[in-house]
Amino acid sequence: MSRRTERIAELLRNEIACALREDITDPRIGLTTLTRVDVAPDMSHAVVFWSGLEEPDE
């Protein structure tokens, strides 16, 4: 991955993480962690990898 695509991937990861943290209020989301963002060399698309923990039912 080139330095440019690495920077774009990091920017995307930060923006998506910020949106999840501040803009999404759906309680079903729970604790979500973005683990990696892979950007295509031509920057036509990106794949976002994430993991999540579901809160136990009461």
Q: What is the 3-state secondary structure (H, E, C) of the chain?
A: CCHHHHHHHHHHHHHHHHHHHHCCCCCCCCEEEEEEEEECCCCCCEEEEEEEECCCCC
- 21-45 pLDDT, tens per residue? 898 888 777 788 899 999 999 999 9
The pLDDT value recorded for residue 37 is 97
Residue 30 maps to a domain:
yes
Range of the domain at 36: 3-53
Q: Which residue has the tokens 């683990």?
A: 35
Q: Share the mean pLDDT of the chain.
A: 89
What pLDDT does residue 27 have? Answer: 78
Domain-located, residue 32: yes
Q: Does a structural domain hold residue 58?
A: no
- Banded pLDDT at 58 (limits 50, 70, 90): low
CA separation for the pair 29, 33 (Å, rounded): 10
How many folded domains does the chain comprise?
A: 1
Please indicate, yes or no, if residue 18 is contained in any of the structural domains.
yes
Q: What is the CATH number of the domain that holds 11?
A: 3.30.300.20
More confident residue, 26 or 15: 15
